[in-house]
Amino acid sequence: MTTRARQSLPDCGRAPLARALLVVLCLVAGFGCAAPPAHTSFAASPADPAIRRVVPEDAEAVRLSFAPLVRAAAPAVVSVTARRTAVQSEADTFYDDPIFRHFFGDLGRFGRGRPRQQREQASLGSGVIVRADGLIVTNRHVIEGADAITVVLGDRREFPAEVVLSDELSDLGFLRIEPGQDLPVLPLGDSDRIEVGDLVLAIGNPFGIGQTVTSGIVSAAARATPGGRSDVSFIQTDAAINPGNSGGALVSMDGELIGVNTAIFTRGGGGSIGIGFAIPANLVAARLAGIEQGTGTERPWLGAEYAPIDNSTADALGLARPQGVLIERVHPKAAGAAAGLRPGDVVTAVGGVEINDAPGLNFRLALEPLGQTVPLTVLRRGERLTLDLPLRPAPAEPPADRRTLDGNQPLSGTTVANLSPALSQGLGLDPFDSGVVVLGIERGSFATRLGLRPGDAIHAVNGEVVASTAELERMLDENARRWVVTVRRDGRLFDLTIS
């Protein structure tokens, strides 16, 4: 409040209410100032005790200025530059033309063009030092596909960085630099303790102009972004976040990292309109534990398909209000099945923490360590139950058995693998699917001209259902005058006929 008072001082002579408010604020802050006379205008002067900048000396005085927090936190926030080489082809040029794209849609995606030129692309972002030995957290989308990554510290030292962990589901990436000495560290806070209305600072490198600090409040907690990822409950803030802030720090008034700034909601211009999102620090801590324990990006897998609960669903289930998520299917090999979870159950809490949507459920599970159990609170036909959920990753059965098909057949040049819940999770596919999935297609192969894409599942060949890569290879070895390949894409089946 005192900060706002200092900003409004030049205008405080405009109305009696402003003068009265100034007196109250000054007395509370301990300035000992008096209100200006009603008949005079107030001129801002650096020598005036009412507006002289006070250097805070204790925790209470931090309310008067963010400077002590910034001095402590800013050195641990770094700039990250990721460079990658892109090869532009004739087909790429066709597809990227907005006029062709308007009339022809995705047709350009499957064209083949000769390599035309190479050009270097650079993405700018931010990062936070979380270990004194040089471990840095940032966003995965900042470093994705980079050939070289450079980290610039606040004191202008530059270091090459290597990727330690890249987690697509949480959009977190971890880098390591070798500084040769201990670095400033921003300690992780407990993001579960924040409340809506708490003051926060956002520190990063927006638009590459250099380290910038903005302030705001926590606007919402446990927020799912519109159309965003399904496994993170974000912290929403009105502190200004702009392109380049990605991977930067959201800092609490305790001087701790409570979030990694990740995304903004905007209309048209791409700049901040006061709706920004940060990945909670507790998820950063969980991924750090994965690095230290050697489990990487693995996380507990419930193995269930669930739906949100709205008012009509709550009425049908006899709930007093919409809460939790409704279980629709449970995978027979999943931890949920082992715990006794059933279709029709309503999951309302994980580890005693209430959840109200799918991102909240996934987020709570992602925070839990593998190899232990967590209590799952469930409503079943009006009865409240507690299930002990074993925390284990998605099973990698059957083995992938990755193969690249060849020979005189329509899928020659296609790399395929057996689907398992673990592989489906990694590819962003339905973990309930089984069979054979396309992992890649050689450039210029016949399969490219068929329009196959990575992620497509080969469901059947000439009417015979495909259960494994070995079966698929056997089917394609048979001579045939006409081929009908049934493909599953986004839950729908369609036939590709080759004669």
**Contact yes or no for 342/379 (Cβ under 8 A):** no
The token duo for 284 is 């950063």
Is 284 in a helix, a strand, or coil?
Answer: helix
Report the alpha-carbon distance of residue 403 to residue 471 in Å, rounded: 12
- If you compute the radius of gyration of the chain from its CA atoms, what whole number of angstroms results? 28
- In terms of Cα–Cα distance, which of 307, 349, 300 is closest to 328? 307
Query: Mutual orientation of helices 281-293 and 358-366 as an angle, nearest 10°?
Result: 40
- Which among 123, 141, 191, 468 is annotated as catalytic? 141
**Is 246 considered catalytic here?**
yes
**Is 171 considered catalytic here?**
yes
- Which among 246, 252, 424, 468 is annotated as catalytic? 246
Q: Give 4's contacts (C-beta < 8 A, 6+ positions apart).
A: none
Backbone angles phi, psi at 358, to 5 degrees: -60, -45
**Contact yes or no for 49/26 (Cβ under 8 A):** no
**Is 39 considered catalytic here?**
no
Report the alpha-carbon distance of residue 380 to residue 373 in Å, rounded: 21
Report the alpha-carbon distance of residue 35 to residue 257 in Å, rounded: 39
- Which among 126, 167, 170, 171 is annotated as catalytic? 171
Neighbours of 134 (CB within 10 A): 20
Whole-angstrom CA distances from 173 to 138, 291, 319, 404 are: 5, 11, 40, 30
Element (H, E) at 439: strand 436-441
Backbone angles phi, psi at 83, to 5 degrees: -115, 140
Report the alpha-carbon distance of residue 151 to residue 143 in Å, rounded: 11
Which residues are tagged catalytic? 141, 171, 246
